[in-house]
Amino acid sequence: MTWRGEVPKEALPATVFSESRRMKSRNGSVALFALGLAIAACVVFASAPALSEPPAQTSGSAVTIGGPFTLSTADGLTVTHQTYRGKWLLVYFGYTFCPTSCPTTLLEIATALKRLGPDAARVQPLFITVDPQRDTPEVMQQYTRSFDPRIVGLIGTPEQLAAAAREYGAYYVRHRTGSGADDYVIDHSTYLYVMDPLGKFVRAFDYGVSADRIAAALRELMALASHEGSHGNISSSRSG
């Protein structure tokens, strides 16, 4: 069974992380893993040199990133695009079996939350799986908690996930690595999207963004928003 996340023509060019070039198992050697990293880095940076700084403010742009979705938490709660209004969202599409880009990004997000201190309460990271076959609620729960319990993993039916990915212009496609049902990897775009407390897209970070940059950008955005007073429903936890 195969599914594809559709790539809207107007979407940001996808930074595709070519996981099919790497080992299919998580039990490979360190050397293989390092080689995989090197290949992945080449793929990412060679394919999207212009996207290392995509501050892409969308106001006035025809491109709309983010939109209605219905997904579920690992606890079985249904969530939609409305659920997290009032929070700054960090949205990332990936899967728990991902050998590099997902663990790397989630680690940076977890570190960014620590850097933000109390302001992290105003941020909600969402890790949306593109692998509904293997990412069961239990697997997702365990995975996101291993980075930071504040990261929420979202699952859904293949249709729900494809729809959510489409709203964000996220790309993913499965590649078989063997004949077994679970012998596959998923190439996927690696943007980390930032949505404001009103649910509007603010910017996207390309793969490789550091925790410090994520934290600094969020601080800046929060300060700007409270300065402008244009986001009345930001949870007024505190600021510093």
List residues near Cu ion by CB under 5 A: 94, 98, 101-102
Comparison of 102 and 225: residue with beta carbon closer to Cu ion:
102
Nearer to Cu ion, 101 or 124 (CB): 101
Instruction: Give 102 or 140: the residue with its C-beta nearer to Cu ion.
Output: 102
Is the distance from CB of 123 to CB of 218 less than 8 angstroms? yes
Whichever of 102 and 152 has its CB closer to Cu ion, that residue is 102
Within the chain, strands assigned E span 16-17, 70-73, 78-80, 88-94, 123-129, 152-155, 172-176, 184-189, 192-195, 201-205
Place of tokens 């600021």: 239
Pairing of strands 152-155, 123-129: parallel
Please answer whether residues 78 and 72 qualify as being in contact, where contact means their C-beta atoms are separated by less than 8 angstroms: yes
**Region label for 35, one of left (φ > 0), alpha (ψ between -120 and 50) or beta (otherwise):** alpha
For residue 76, the minimal CB distance to Cu ion (Å) is 24
- 101 or 144, CB closer to Cu ion? 101
Closest CB 226 distance from Cu ion, rounded Å: 34
Task: Kindly state the smallest distance separating residue 188's Cβ from Cu ion, in Å.
Answer: 6
Half-sphere exposure of 214 (CA within 13 A, CB side): 34
Least Å from the CB of residue 216 to Cu ion = 24
How would you classify residue 208: left for phi > 0, otherwise alpha for psi between -120 and 50, otherwise beta?
left
Q: How far is the CB of 98 from Cu ion (least distance, A)?
A: 3
- Residue with nearest beta carbon to Cu ion: 98
